[in-house]
Amino acid sequence: MSGVMKRMGMIFRAKANKALDRAEDPRETLDYSYQKQLELLQKVRRGVADVATSRKRLELQLNQLQSQSAKLEDQGRKALALGREDLAREALSRRSSLQQQVADLQVQHQTLQGEEEKLTLASQRLQAKVDAFRTKKETIKATYTAAQAQTRIAESFSGISEEMSDVGLAIQRAEDKTAQLQARAGAIDELLASGALDDQSGLGSKDDIQAELDRLSGGNDVELELQRMKAELAGGPSAQQQAIEGGAPGAAQSQQTQHRFDKQ
Amino acid sequence: MIVRIMGEGQLKVADSHFVELNKLDDELLEEMESGDEPGFRRTLTALLDAVRRLGTPLPDAALEPSELILPAPDATLAQVREMLSDDGLIPG
């Protein structure tokens, strides 16, 4: 019984031989194969570029998610200072679902980086082999008759064709992976754009917390400042502020806020 | 003998090591045929480590065919099975 590596070796060799057998004149096979190699090299380079593009896009998204997460943390802090624990809880729970997305994307990012490295090395290996093949091909064509060349061609051809099969597979897999990630990245872009990153909360707009905070702090900043001054004048420490429900009574929250009233 | 690790390149391994490597290789085939994914993963990793440890990398420009070919470290059991099937998924 032969193992996996022996069988794979045989399969690759059989593939290379089949390609050679089809040729009328083996020297033509050399030229044809060289063309194929150049095409594959182009494809590998494109593959590396695609992976790099996906990686950069992921990095951008990660930055956006991180800053979104920092903003929610600020909002949570502010809400707490205004005595609105409910708002603070909401902000922090959204933040935690964002953090999950971030952790998830970081794993994807690592995968892509690994993929990019592997393909870059594969592309260098293939380039070196293609150069060697070109030199050898010209020597064979110049030195031997078609009949004599057969063996020499077979030798160099199976070496390069094996490399091509290997790189071809790597490229296929990288393409599949990037396609999956692109789709995911697209979905995250939409989420970022719509501000609905907090699926679980069931609240449509991400600005509802900010709107509520703006409404509260409209009157409260002054009130809070007054409280702090009074405390200072009284010689006491400016204690943790208690809630002062201010603002317009029952101000309706707009559900579809298009504009953001960020104070930052 | 020349061994290719898919996605990594080729290494030259002295014939004397093949008793050890073949044992692992046979194990790998058994695990693949019985569908033992964890065992397959373990044996593949061990086999790749052994080849990397015992072999000397061939220069990139070498045009020598490999006698033996090993799947990439992250290849799944299903992928290897497919490669070993008749038409396989090996391009070109």
Chain A residue with CA closest to B83: the answer is A8
- Give the tens place of pLDDT for each residue, A67-115: 989 999 999 999 888 888 888 999 999 899 889 889 988 998 998 899 8
The reply to whether residue B60 touches residue A124, judged by beta carbons under 8 angstroms, is yes
**What pLDDT, on a 0 to 100 scale, did the predictor assign at position A140?**
86
> CA–CA separation, A139 vs A146, rounded Å?
13
The reply to whether residue A11 touches residue B67, judged by beta carbons under 8 angstroms, is no
Question: Shortest CB distance from A4 goes to which of B4, B29, B64?
Answer: B29
- Give the tens place of pLDDT for each residue, A183-199: 888 888 887 776 655 44
Query: Which span out of A231-245, B38-52, B72-86 was modeled with the highest average pLDDT?
Result: B38-52
Q: Which chain B residues contact residue A47 at CB under 8 A? A: none
Confidence of residue B44 (pLDDT cuts 50, 70, 90): very high
> CA–CA separation, B46 vs B57, rounded Å?
18
**What pLDDT, on a 0 to 100 scale, did the predictor assign at position A218?**
67
Q: Which two tokens stand for residue A132?
A: 């060697």
Calculate the CA A261 to chain-centre distance.
30
pTM greater than 0.75 (yes/no): no
3-state SS class at B55: coil
Distance from CA of A65 to the nearest CA of B (A): 30
Digitized pLDDT (tens) for each residue of chain A, 264 residues in all: 478 998 898 888 888 888 777 667 777 888 888 999 999 999 999 999 999 999 999 999 999 999 989 999 999 999 888 888 888 999 999 899 889 889 988 998 998 899 899 999 999 999 999 999 999 988 888 887 766 777 778 778 888 989 999 999 889 888 888 888 888 888 888 877 766 554 444 444 556 788 788 777 765 666 667 777 777 788 754 444 444 444 444 334 443 333 444 444
The pLDDT of B32-51, averaged and rounded, is 95
Best mutation site among A2, A5, A135 for testing chain B: the one with the most B CBs within 10 Å?
Answer: A5
> CA–CA separation, A213 vs A88, rounded Å?
10
**What pLDDT, on a 0 to 100 scale, did the predictor assign at position B88?**
55
Q: Is A183 on the interface with B (CB under 8 A)?
A: no
**What pLDDT, on a 0 to 100 scale, did the predictor assign at position B73?**
92
